[in-house]
Amino acid sequence: MVAASDVSPHLPVVLVLAGHDPTGGAGLVADAESVAACGGWALTIPTALTVQDCRDVARVLPVDPDAIRCMAEALDGFEIAAIKVGLVPDTAVLDAVTDIVRRHPGVPLVVDPVLRAGGGSELSTAELVDAFRERLLPLVDILTPNRRELVRLSAAVEDDDTERAVELMTLGCQAVLVTGTDDPEGRVPADRVEHTLHAPDVSRQWSWPRLDGNFHGSGCTLAAALAVRLAAGESLVTACEQAQAFTWQALAHGWRPGRDQSLPRRLWQLPAALSLPGDTPRG
């Protein structure tokens, strides 16, 4: 007889390809925490190393594309149920990421288009955006841009989020979840945040209370949570809704180091500090 404690739970596996943020606010650390908090297991492959703090990115160091491919091949023993892509620093890495995605047909692909740092530094070029639209976008199941990223990615001439999302879907992207945290539309009250899902057979909107302050890593948190929900087999609408609820809680329980941007606490339900056996409280 096998004891209950010996039975391993089924953990939905999410392959994450993203940049490494040493602060832990965004990037691979944020993705791994989000996946774990939502009940999955993250396989993490760095696409770039970054020099940054909680204010801005100073430098991006792309990882060797062949090394990225080798790391992915070494993980073939895992049953990957979803893929999440974040920062893609150049076209060579984009090609490596596209190659890896193509090796997993039918696996849901969630892409958070990291085009600009929260502090304002540009993380992409016009050439990279064009290559992204041509090579990766046709493989995407759901894209999660904020409104400024949507403008940057779309070639639609109309000043309308729906038209921009539809234009991206004509390139092969299956769905677009547009977040309004950065640049809300005029019709949205200042104290609310509205997210809109565009897909061929469904359109949904969610409204959340706007939290005070600026946050570093909210997009990573949302996209990673969405990926693990899809990996667990949830429908697109349910996965989007659950990922938003998780992200809002992570932001609401966020931590602000000094005067910098606040960092989402994906593991906010854990104790803030753990005491070791034998430790005595300090008076």
Please report which residue ranges of the chain form alpha helices under DSSP H: 27-37, 65-73, 91-102, 126-131, 147-153, 161-170, 218-231, 236-252
Count of CB atoms within 10 A of residue 169's CB? Answer: 18
d(Cα 118, Cα 21) in Å, to the nearest integer?
Answer: 13
pLDDT of amino acid 213: 81
**Per-residue pLDDT tens over the stretch 58-94:** 899 999 999 999 999 999 999 999 999 999 999 999 9
d(Cα 125, Cα 145) in Å, to the nearest integer?
Answer: 16
pLDDT of amino acid 7: 58
pLDDT in tens, the chain (283 residues): 445 455 567 899 999 999 999 999 999 999 999 999 999 999 999 999 999 888 888 899 999 999 999 999 999 999 999 999 999 999 999 999 999 999 999 999 999 998 766 655 556 788 999 999 999 999 999 999 999 899 999 998 888 999 999 999 999 999 999 998 776 666 777 788 899 999 998 889 999 988 888 888 899 999 999 999 999 999 999 999 999 999 999 999 988 887 778 889 999 888 766 555 554 444 3
CB 38 within 8 A of CB 246: yes
Q: DSSP letter string over 154-215?
A: ----SS-HHHHHHHHHHTT---EEEB-SSS--TTS-TTEEEEEEEETTEEEEEEEEPPSS-B
Q: What domains, with CATH codes, occur in the chain?
A: 11-252 (3.40.1190.20)
**Per-residue pLDDT tens over the stretch 109-124:** 999 998 766 655 556 7
d(Cα 201, Cα 205) in Å, to the nearest integer?
Answer: 14
Identify residue 157 by its one-letter amino acid code: V
d(Cα 244, Cα 13) in Å, to the nearest integer?
Answer: 20
pLDDT of amino acid 158: 82
Helix (H, G, I), strand (E, B) or coil at 83: strand
pLDDT of amino acid 1: 47
What is the model's pTM?
A: 0.90
Q: Name the DSSP letter for residue 105.
A: T
How deeply is 281 buried, as exposed, middle or buried, from its count of CB atoms within 10 A (0-12, 13-18, 19+)?
Answer: exposed
Q: Name the DSSP letter for residue 3.
A: -
d(Cα 104, Cα 12) in Å, to the nearest integer?
Answer: 15
